[in-house]
Amino acid sequence: MAADIALFDLGHVVLDWEPSRLYTKIFDTPQECDVFLSDICTMAWHTRHDAGVSFADNAAELIRLHPHYEAEILAWGRRWMEMFDGYMDGTAELIARLDARGVPLYALSNMPADPWDEMLEAFDVLRRFRHVVVSGQIDMIKPNADIYHHALKMMDGPDPDKVIFIDNSLPNVEAADALGFRTHHFKHAEGLEQALVQEGLL
C-alpha cells in the first residue's frame, strides 16, 4: 500500500511562521519579548484564533486583563503577516514537484480565519492546493478527530490509508495515525523528501 494524496500542515511545514519575528521589532529587549510571548500572548491564547475566535474578540478579552499591553496585543492581528519569513527551506519546492507529477495536494492547518485571504495573496504555493482546511473557518481544530474527518470529506472521501498527512506536531500526527492515515512527522524537507519517495509520490 502507498499514498495517492498528500495532505500538508502549513505553519512550520510549508510557511515559516514565528510570532517572535514580529515582537522583536516591538520590544526593546529579547527579555521583554520572551516575557510577553510566554505570559501574555501565549500559544494557548493564540489557539483560540485557530478554533474560530476572531482576532478582535480574542484581543478584547486579553486587553481587559492587561490594558497596559493594548497596542502589543492588537499587533498580533494587525501585523500578522510580519510573523512570516516566506517558506520553510525546501518544502515549497517539494510541493511544486508533487504538483508537476499530478499528485492531488491538500492542506489541513490550524490557522485563524481572519488573515486567510491576505495569506493566499502573499504565498503563491497555497494556490497549488486543491483545498485548504482552515481550522478557524470551520470551528474545528487539530488534533480533534472531527477536523480529520472533515478533511477527508473535502478530498472526496478517500480511505485514510491513501493519504499521507504531514505535520510538525507530534500530537497531530498521532491523531491522524489513530484514524488510519499514513503520516510523516515533519522536521525538515530532506526527511519529507525521503518519505515521499518511499510512498512513490516522488
Domain definitions of the chain by residue range: 5-16+85-198, 18-83
Burial of 166 (0-12, 13-18, 19+ CB in 10 A): buried
Q: What is the DSSP letter of 97?
A: H
- Rounded CA gap, 196 and 52, in Å? 32
Q: 27, 44, 25: which is closest to 36 by C-alpha?
A: 27
pLDDT tens digits for the chain (202 residues)? 789 999 999 999 999 999 999 999 999 999 999 999 999 999 999 999 999 999 999 999 999 999 999 999 999 999 999 999 999 999 999 999 999 999 999 999 999 999 999 999 999 999 999 999 999 999 999 999 999 999 999 999 999 999 999 999 999 999 999 999 999 999 999 999 999 999 999 9
Please compute, for residue 124, the number of CA atoms within 13 A of its CA located in the half-sphere on the CB side. Answer: 3
Taking CA atoms, 75 is separated from 54, 56, 79, in Å, by: 14, 11, 5
Q: 162, 142, 144: which is closest to 152 by C-alpha?
A: 162
Architecture label for domain 5-16+85-198: 3-Layer(aba) Sandwich (3.40)
Position 2 scores a pLDDT of: 87
* Contact (Cβ atoms closer than 8 angstroms) between residue 16 and residue 85: yes
